[in-house]
């Protein structure tokens, strides 16, 4: 009982500190995952003395956390927002991964003298972007939906092929010529399992009459976790099955959808916090210093060569402008996923695996500092920030599900042509209206004669049927002003 009390007390304290750390990270402009890793390191052997070196348990808990993070990412991704960039996202999660593995592996083979198989394993581990980092950072930048959608899809989909590649390369058995066909099957079957279970889960939840509202979020998340299990038992990709099921469920007309998304978001935060603290606890600072040189070499290859070339080749069929390609290249955020995947060869007993784990720890910290802190500045410098991008607002207390309505938040950035537009000139579709304007920290209800100004924040209430049209109209006025329709601006 004493052990249980201690574990519960330490766990609650760490969770509370981690939640408060989110506010600190926002003020410092640093990604919160670094603070979570720091909390784990403080708890570890070098400071407070908790000795934790169980790689197998860390890997198992890490995969469980990734399943929950992918569930949250899929449930909160709107198909309307990512549909136009679906094939670009698929290309980034497959073609870009293959190119990145090849370039990184080849470079590290010659630069670090690694065996070919080990070098390609380094490339595979480092090629996966982190869903938690991407979901938390990109949705607050205000860049176009094509870029955000492509990067969200990439981070949600590329865990599956990278995991298969890592398991294949970490195996002590010779690689068979049938391996590519096996990977294609596992990806296709995993996607099919996820879509099927997501559709069946959506139908069942709409017809079920559960006795409590709080049971719907639990049932929804359970379907996504079940998709991982079903995919794994079918020798398919459980990660892809999870994300596909969550994506289908998140875009179905689920009962109490707002409650479900809020619950999934909280569960995703819990998984991120627990995972990063656990990884920080597992890390050994004394070993990390020795891996710094190899990590810097791998990071330079990845950031300056492998990622830009892989994005260029993956985006080639889609005629992506160079500014967007630069942003896509710099947005390959790494986080917990490479660390968890690096533990797989360590558990398999592969020679040199510990060096890979230590280098990945160092690399994740450095790349998160470099990319995470400069990404907002880069988006503004490239001219990709759009003030007309609406953000969904979840309000648990409002009966929005019964009204089939949604809340959108719009920030008017400097230079937007929304500035100076009268409310009567905004001409939102029937079924949508601006219910509140916050200006200089004070809110008021707009009148027909109210003129919008830079830095205003708008709260827009819209029905589900006209949400897409509402967002298009806001983007059109943002780019072309009150006469957007006259000049042929559609907001697409």
Question: Which pLDDT does position 401 carry in this prediction?
Answer: 61
Q: At what angle do helices 336-347 and 353-367 cross, to 10 degrees?
A: 180
Dist CA 127 CA 306 (whole Å): 9
Buried/exposed code over 79-88 (b: 16+ C-beta within 10 A; e: otherwise):
eebbeebeeb
Cα→Cα distances 247→26, 203, 241, 457, Å: 28, 14, 10, 29
Residue that the structure tokens 């890979």 belong to = 356
Asked if residue 104 lies in contact with residue 127, where contact means CB atoms within 8 angstroms, the answer is: yes
> How far from the centroid of its chain's Cα atoms is residue 479's Cα?
28
Q: Which two tokens mark 465?
A: 């049927």
Dist CA 410 CA 387 (whole Å): 7
The parts of the chain modelled with pLDDT lower than 70 are: 1-2, 21-32, 45, 49, 131-142, 386-403
Task: Give the H or E element holding residue 56.
Answer: helix 55-75
Dist CA 150 CA 91 (whole Å): 9
Task: Give the H or E element holding residue 406.
Answer: strand 405-411
Question: Which pLDDT does position 310 carry in this prediction?
Answer: 94
Question: Which pLDDT does position 397 carry in this prediction?
Answer: 44
- From first CA to last CA, the distance across the chain in angstroms is 60
Residue that the structure tokens 């949400």 belong to = 467
**DSSP three-state, residue 414:** coil
Bridge-based pairing state of the strands 442-444 and 432-439: antiparallel
Sign of the dihedral defined by the CA atoms of residues 264, 269, 270, 272, in that order: positive
Q: Which two tokens mark 249?
A: 């469920």
Sign of the dihedral defined by the CA atoms of residues 45, 50, 51, 54, in that order: negative
Q: Which two tokens mark 89?
A: 């996202």
Write the pLDDT tens digit of every residue in 165-207: 888 888 877 777 777 888 889 889 999 999 999 999 999 988 8
Nearest to 54 by CA among 65, 45, 46: 45
**DSSP three-state, residue 428:** coil
Residues 6 or more apart in contact with residue 313 via CB below 8 angstroms: 95, 96, 99
267: how many CB neighbours lie within 10 A of its CB? 18
Task: Give the H or E element holding residue 408.
Answer: strand 405-411
**DSSP three-state, residue 343:** helix
Domains, the chain, with CATH or none: 29-381 (1.20.1530.20), 391-483 (3.30.70.1450)
Question: Which pLDDT does position 139 carry in this prediction?
Answer: 59
Asked if residue 336 lies in contact with residue 281, where contact means CB atoms within 8 angstroms, the answer is: no
């Amino acid at each position: 009982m004493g052990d249980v009390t201690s574990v519960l007390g330490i766990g609650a304290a760490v969770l509370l500190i981690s939640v408060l750390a989110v506010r600190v990270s926002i003020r410092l402009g640093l990604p919160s995952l670094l603070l979570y890793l720091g909390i784990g390191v403080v708890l570890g052997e070098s400071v407070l003395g908790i000795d934790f070196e169980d790689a197998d348990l860390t890997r198992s808990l890490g995969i469980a956390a990734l399943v929950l993070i992918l569930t949250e990412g899929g449930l909160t991704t709107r198909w309307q927002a990512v549909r136009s960039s679906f094939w670009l996202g698929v290309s980034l999660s497959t073609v870009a991964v293959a190119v990145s593995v090849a370039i990184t592996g080849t470079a590290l083979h010659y630069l670090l003298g690694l065996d070919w198989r080990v070098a390609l394993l380094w490339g595979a581990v480092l090629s996966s972007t982190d869903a938690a980092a991407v979901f938390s950072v990109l949705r607050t930048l205000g860049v176009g939906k094509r870029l955000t959608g492509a990067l969200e899809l990439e981070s949600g989909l590329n865990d599956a092929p990278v995991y298969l590649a890592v398991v294949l390369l970490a195996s002590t058995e010779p690689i068979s010529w049938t391996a590519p066909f096996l990977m294609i099957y596992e990806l296709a079957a995993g996607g099919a399992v996820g879509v099927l279970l997501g559709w069946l889960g959506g139908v069942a939840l709409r017809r079920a009459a559960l006795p409590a509202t709080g049971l719907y979020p639990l049932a929804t998340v359970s379907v996504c976790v079940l998709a991982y299990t079903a995919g794994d038992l079918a020798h398919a990709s459980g990660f892809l099955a999870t994300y596909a099921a969550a994506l289908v469920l998140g875009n179905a007309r689920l009962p109490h959808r707002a409650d479900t998304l809020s619950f999934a978001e909280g569960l995703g935060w819990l998984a991120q916090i627990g995972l990063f603290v656990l990884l920080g606890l597992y890390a050994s600072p004394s070993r990390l210093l020795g891996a710094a040189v190899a990590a810097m070499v791998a990071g330079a290859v990845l950031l300056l060569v492998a990622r830009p070339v892989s994005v260029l080749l993956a985006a080639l069929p889609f005629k992506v402008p160079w500014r967007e390609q630069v942003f896509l290249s710099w947005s390959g955020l790494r986080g917990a996923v490479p660390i968890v995947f690096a533990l797989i060869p360590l558990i398999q007993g592969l020679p040199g695996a510990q060096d890979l784990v230590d280098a990945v720890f160092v690399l994740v910290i450095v790349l998160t500092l470099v990319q995470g802190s400069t990404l907002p500045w880069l988006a503004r410098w490239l001219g990709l920030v759009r003030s007309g991008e609406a953000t969904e607002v979840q309000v648990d207390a409002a009966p929005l599900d019964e009204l089939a309505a949604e809340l959108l938040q719009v920030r008017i950035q400097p230079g937007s042509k929304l500035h100076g537009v009268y409310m009567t000139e905004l001409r939102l579709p029937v079924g949508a209206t601006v219910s509140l304007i916050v200006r200089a920290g004070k809110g008021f209800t707009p009148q027909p004669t109210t003129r919008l100004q830079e830095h205003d924040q708008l709260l827009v209430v819209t029905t589900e049927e006209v949400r897409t049209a509402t967002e298009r109209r806001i983007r059109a006025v943002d780019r072309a002003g009150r006469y957007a329709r006259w000049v042929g601006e559609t907001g697409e």
